[in-house]
Structure 1
Amino acid sequence: MNALGLNLAAPPEMRLAPKPKDDARWSALLVAVGRDRDRDAFAELFRHYAPRVKAFLIRTGLSPAMAEDCMQDVMVTLWRKAHQYDPARAGAATWLFTIARNRKIDLIRRTRRPEPEDLPWGPEPAPEQADALALQQETARLAQAIATLPPKQRDLVERAYFGDATHSEIAAATGLPLGTIKSRIRLAIDRLRHAMQNERRDLPRPHDRH
């Protein structure tokens, strides 16, 4: 029995019969499934394509167990969406193996995502007041440091980090060579780093307040 409750084991006479090679036959069977919900047509499609789909999935990297599950999903999709099949646009094999490829991609994506129980739920806790104040002060110091940059460097930093422009986009907008842009931004970042480090060293420490 398969996922749709059909007995799809091929009878001996069908196993001995030669398989038709004309894709028009499989297309006609697929149309019959979509138009008439023809279970016999579906069973024949399943017998022919299920092992081929599974072999394709294994060849392209899935384990046999994953390939089996994915193949079952593909065949269920065939049953449910056969009415969408248009034989004038694609053969049955092309249509079905496209579904198989897409299902494989979906399966791989799901296995790489964290499970729902591993995801954080609810809103993130609000930052502590001291942390929020420190962040605010750090932002103000950074703004002051940027204001002290030479105008040409400040313009490029603002375009790159606040305007979210790439170096190539800045070059197109300003007419400057790409190397000049990279050099000026690198110098600006070094200036900002030193300015922020010096600012932190000048801040009063907790024991200095007593």
Structure 2
Amino acid sequence: MAAFEALFKDFSPRVRAYLLKLTRDGQAAEDLMQETMLAIWRKAGQFDPERGQASAWIFTIARNIWIDAWRKQKRPAFDPDDPALVPPPGPNAPDLLEQKQSGAALHEALKTLPQEQVELIRLSFFDEDSHSTIAARTGLPIGTVKSRIRLAFGRLRTALEEIK
């Protein structure tokens, strides 16, 4: 305790002057000096005299504390009303009902297609496979895959118009 008191008396004015030069604010320099001296007290066991002088170690701690304080100061204040932080509004009841009805109509229309066309639609639009991948998977020529998907769309369009 006596050693820390001597260290404090010797280094606190010098650390405060150093921090005053960095901050140009007397109160901030005083606060950062207190924080530095407290950090020195906590980290005293980490000091290694073989790596350098105590003064270099102390002023490095002071500089790091000043950098941390400066970074905190430069961060923008949190604004809970920032549009980027506000989640998008959820769908309202009419939109949800329309989506549900559209989904049901699509399922009904898919029932009118041959199973092979339903499978091609599923691979292309639900699994998001490319036409060449579908052709390789099914063993069909790519032109056949494209024409069957186009035919399936035409039948789906007709079926959906009949349902509505």
User: What is the TM-score when the length of structure 2 is the normalising length?
Assistant: 0.49
Which structure is larger by alpha-carbon Rg, 1 or 2?
Answer: 2
User: What is the TM-score when the length of structure 1 is the normalising length?
Assistant: 0.39
